[in-house]
């Protein structure tokens, strides 16, 4: 099977999640992604629980379909080895603190002297410029600084981070898009270039309607828990057995809701008849709905809403989500061989092409698992040369 990015080679110096998850998507699409770490390991995600035997399940989430090579970039011989690899690479991906590659002597200016067509993608907390550019960037800190935590959580509670590293996840998508765009620009007759991606930039851009509302009206969104600032009813309600989310996005759907709930009087009540009036009378609307939703189970309500096209669904935990009939039907979980664990289960890439099936071809690699084979194939080093590099701690 031929994959669309099979002729693309990426040297991935990144660690943790934002950048590695981006290179993983490119690897899914066929790119040859070579993780390069120090012989002692660079990626602290390998140390994060929970573990299967000695392997981190956290590390699994961002590293399928890659190879792993160890090189000590702080040693001159290791840097020389890396620059040899750059000569035939398309992309170098890194997410060290701004300026680290320059200090190591492998910044963009050095890379392009070796390979003028090289694309360097730098993913940092705050970008390559500005007063915060040297600060380390971690997802929850960016959620705080970037305004996301202030609009997440309940009005009478603390600001709350999203339960997954959402800024890293969104940034990984921008990493993928920016790299493919730079490759396309180069292949159309341009040159390589340096991509500057910032977690804070990504977070600010993802504020969407919240940013637009403030910039154009001065309105500052408030924390409303599972409610929506601008749409009612659009929130979680407790049912007889468990909570469920309902999203009545417009007045047409509200009319259907009134039909299901047998509340035709709401359609002519000036307090509820339009979304604007429902927002203004949110508390009264919510109190009446709470008394109704508690009378049936979440599944009973879902069946009624589904028949009328009203978006809704029970609040599932992770086990219920992964066992959801739609998730099972879409075969989102794949079992793959692993050299020390026998088999592991991973969530698949969600992209579905009609003619290009995407599979998990490689397990998340062990540290340095492919060093010997890669150096023999790529640089034509013999076993004695490789042993000498090992004895010096370079690989």
Express each pLDDT in 372-395 by its tens digit: 999 999 999 999 999 999 999 999
pLDDT over 70 percentage in the chain? 100
Contact indicator for 395, 78 with CB cutoff of 8 Å: yes
Q: What is the DSSP string of 208-231?
A: HHHHHHHHHH-------TTS-SS-
- The 3 state secondary structure assigned to 140-187 is HHHHHHCCCHHHCCCCCCCCCCCCCCHHHHHHHHHHHHHHHHHHHHHH
What is the rounded CA–CA span in Å between residue 85 and residue 371? 12
Q: Is residue 105 within a helix (H) or strand (E), and if so which, with residue range?
A: none
Query: What is the pTM assigned to this prediction?
Result: 0.93
Residue 305's closest CA among 265, 263, 256, 251? 256
Query: What is the structure's pLDDT at 2?
Result: 85
- Active-site residue flag, 187: no
pLDDT in tens, 324-343: 999 999 999 999 999 999 99
For residues 274 and 269, give the distance between their C-alpha atoms in angstroms, rounded to a whole number: 9
Q: What CA–CA distance (Å, rounded) separates 364 from 33? A: 11
Cα–Cα distance between 116 and 179 in angstroms, integer? 16
The pLDDT tens digits for 1-17 are: 789 999 999 999 999 99
> How buried is 269 (Cβ within 10 angstroms: 0-12 exposed, 13-18 middle, 19+ buried)?
middle
Look at residue 107 and tell me whether its pLDDT is greater than 90. Answer: yes
Read off the pLDDT of residues 145-184 as tens digits, 9 standing for 90 and up. 999 999 999 999 999 999 999 999 999 999 999 999 999 9
Residue from 139, 168, 196, 201 carrying the catalytic annotation: 168
Q: With contact defined as beta carbons under 8 Å apart, do 360 and 60 qualify?
A: no
Average pLDDT over residues 197-205: 97
pLDDT of residue 1: 72
SS3 (DSSP) at 314: strand
CA 163 and chain centroid, separation = 13
Burial of 140 (0-12, 13-18, 19+ CB in 10 A): middle
Pairwise CA distance, residues 233 & 294, whole Å: 15
Q: How confident is the model at residue 24 (pLDDT cuts 50, 70, 90)?
A: very high
Peptide bond between residue 233 and the one before it cis (omega within 30 degrees of 0)? yes
The residue-averaged pLDDT of 122-135 equals 96
Listed in sequence order, the residues at least 6 apart from 229 whose beta carbon sits closer than 8 Å to its beta carbon are 210, 221, 222
Query: According to the model, what pLDDT value does residue 323 have?
Result: 96
Question: What's the confidence (pLDDT) of residue 42?
Answer: 87
Q: Cα separation of 171 and 206, whole Å?
A: 10
Residue (of 12, 197, 201, 20) closest to 89 by Cα position: 12
The reported pLDDT for the residue numbered 73 is 96
Instruction: Summarize the confidence of residues 262-290 as an average pLDDT.
Output: 96
Instruction: Give every CB contact of residue 195 below 8 A, 6+ residues apart in sequence.
Output: 119, 120, 121, 122, 178, 179, 182
Query: Over 80: is that where the pLDDT of 287 sits?
Result: yes
| Radius of gyration of the chain from its Cα atoms, rounded to whole angstroms | 25
* pLDDT at res. 18: 93
Q: 78: which DSSP letter?
A: H
**146 in Cβ contact with 171 (< 8 Å):** no
Please give the structure tokens belonging to residue 155.
Answer: 């009005």
Task: Identify the band that residue 249 occupies on the pLDDT scale cut at 50, 70 and 90.
Answer: very high
* Largest interatomic CA distance in the chain: 86
The confidence score (pLDDT) of residue 207 equals: 96
């Amino acid at each position: 099977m031929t994959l669309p990015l099979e002729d693309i080679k990426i040297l991935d110096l990144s660690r943790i999640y934002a950048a590695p998850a981006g290179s993983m998507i490119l690897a899914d699409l066929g790119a040859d992604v070579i993780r390069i770490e120090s012989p002692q390991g660079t990626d602290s995600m390998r140390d994060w629980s929970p573990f299967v035997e000695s392997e981190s399940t956290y590390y699994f989430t961002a590293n399928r379909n890659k190879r792993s090579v160890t090189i000590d970039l702080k040693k001159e011989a290791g840097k020389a080895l890396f620059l040899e690899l750059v000569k035939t690479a398309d992309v170098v991906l890194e997410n060290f603190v701004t300026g680290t590659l320059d200090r190591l002597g492998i910044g963009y200016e050095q890379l392009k002297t070796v390979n003028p067509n090289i694309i360097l993608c730098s993913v940092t907390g705050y970008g390559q410029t500005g007063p915060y550019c040297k600060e380390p960037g971690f997802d929850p800190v960016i959620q705080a600084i970037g305004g996301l935590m202030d609009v997440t959580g309940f009005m009478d509670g603390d600001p709350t981070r999203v339960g997954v590293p959402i800024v890293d996840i969104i940034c990984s998508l921008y990493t993928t898009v920016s790299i493919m765009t730079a490759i396309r620009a180069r292949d159309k007759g341009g040159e390589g270039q340096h991509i500057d991606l910032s977690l804070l930039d990504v977070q600010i851009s993802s504020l969407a309607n919240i940013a637009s509302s403030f910039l154009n009206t001065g309105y500052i969104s408030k924390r409303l828990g599972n409610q929506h600032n601008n749409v009612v009813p659009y929130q979680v309600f407790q049912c007889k057995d468990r909570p469920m989310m309902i999203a009545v996005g417009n007045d047409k759907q509200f009319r259907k809701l009134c039909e299901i709930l047998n509340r035709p009087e709401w359609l002519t009540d000036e307090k509820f008849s339009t979304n604007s009036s429902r927002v203004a009378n949110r508390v009264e609307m919510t109190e009446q709905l709470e008394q109704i939703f508690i009378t049936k189970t979440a599944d009973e309500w879902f069946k009624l809403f589904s028949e009328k096209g009203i978006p809704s669904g029970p609040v599932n935990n992770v086990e219920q989500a992964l066992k959801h009939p739609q998730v099972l039907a879409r075969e989102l979980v794949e079992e793959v061989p692993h050299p020390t664990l026998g088999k592991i289960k991973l969530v698949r890439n969600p992209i579905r092409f009609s003619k290009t099936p995407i599979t998990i071809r490689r397990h998340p690699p062990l540290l340095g698992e492919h060093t010997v084979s890669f150096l023999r194939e790529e640089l034509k080093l013999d076993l004695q040369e490789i042993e000498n590099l090992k004895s010096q701690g370079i690989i």
